[in-house]
A = this chain, B = another copy of it.
Amino acid sequence: MENPVVVEITRGDLVESFHRGAFALVDGAGAIVVSAGDIERPVFPRSAVKLLQAIPLVETGAAAYFGLDDKDLSLACASHSGEPAHVRRAAAMLAKAGLDGGVLECGCHWPFDAAVARDLARSGETLTALHNNCSGKHAGFVLTAVQRGETTAGYVGPNHPVQLRAKAVIEDLVGHSLNRDVCGTDGCSIPTYAAPLRDFAGAFAKIATGKGVGAPRAEAGRALMRACMAEPFEMSGTGRACRRLMEAEPGKVFAKTGAEGVFCGALPELGLGFALKIDDGATRASEALVAALIAKALESEDAALAARFAAMATHDMVNWEGIRTGDVRAILPQRG
């Protein structure tokens, strides 16, 4: 099945490049509200399901045991920008268990945001695993292991209890088992399991509505969602799309990006969940499409707010001299 064009990049009067993709917006019963493209093909959700992976941190009681606040919980769901405040908070979370960044197994990488990376280079500070965009999620993994009395070494392995718990939560929420044939290794070395977009959208709708999932699990998910929506900087960073989407009208939207053009999220008040993937993995396209999809979800409920999200689905492209060269624009095909 051929996915439709969902984002166009123009230059002058022509379409220069275009992105294909698929998306699903579903309700708490799993019914499709709107979709396009192949939503049954297994896709790796990557970091777009960090919130689901953080549910055991709350469910086990580790978050309460270590006294984590909303900013900590948001960082545990984050693909953060590695800004100083993110790094300090990840270190502080580990310090609650008497640990430091040396326990992390996510690897080191320079912050993705070029300006943040240049600031770090100028500072002369040493790059550590705490700068990794996943360090908050990993700090949450480590705290859970410590609270459960498990060894932390090897916590990224697919058979470590930390990863088995995360997998079990996702299996419960997507509604089927996730086996080795759909398992890949993520950028931060933990397993990532592919599943249909329809099922990931359904997982977030279940959390939003509490339908089709146990009450403690739904409440743990909602606590994380509230934390992210209240403290979006911790979950993303300066100028980032996830933050802009969640700050547009606080409490209305939870949205989380994932590598290779993925977004997952929910509109908690409407009881809807969504998931999308750009075929080619482009973030510029996933960020435009998610805004268009949120606008679509809101249009019958709140036309003014929908218009604000629709405006975020299109933006000018400018060159180094600030001259407009074209635009990026999401196109929301009808169900296909």
Contacts and interface: CB of A to CB of B under 8 A. Distances in A.
Contact of A16 (B2, B18, B44, B320): B44
A227 interface: no
A186 B319 contact: yes
A17 interface: yes
Interface stretch (A55-63, A196-204, A249-257, A275-283): A275-283
B325 A184 contact: yes
Nearest to A189: B321
Given A2-B2, A280-B282, A320-B107, A185 B121 contact: no
B105 A17 contact: no
Contacts of A184: 11-12, 14, 16, 325-326
A189 B114 contact: no
Contact of A280 (B12, B17, B117, B260): B17
A106 B323 CA distance: 11
Given A260-B17, A323-B185, A11 B192 contact: yes
Given A16-B184, A320-B132, A281 B9 contact: yes
A23 to B, nearest CB: 15
Nearest to A5: B279
A42 interface: yes
Interface in A281-336: 281-282, 285, 319-326
Given A12-B184, A260-B16, A319 B117 contact: no
Interface in A1-32: 2, 9, 11-14, 16-20
A182 B14 contact: yes
Interface string A242-267: 00000000000000000011000000
Nearest to A111: B114
A43 interface: yes
Interface string A152-194: 0000000000000000000000000000011111111100101
A94 to B, nearest CB: 18
Report, nearest first, the 6 A-B pairs whose CB atoms are least far apart: A107-B320, A12-B184, A17-B281, A11-B184, A118-B121, A107-B321
Interface of A: 2, 9, 11-14, 16-20, 42-44, 105-110, 114, 117-119, 121-122, 124, 132, 181-189, 192, 194, 260-261, 278-282, 285, 319-326
20 contacts: A9-B281, A11-B44, A11-B184, A12-B182, A12-B194, A14-B44, A16-B184, A16-B194, A18-B280, A106-B321, A108-B320, A109-B320, A117-B117, A117-B118, A118-B121, A121-B121, A184-B325, A185-B323, A187-B320, A188-B320
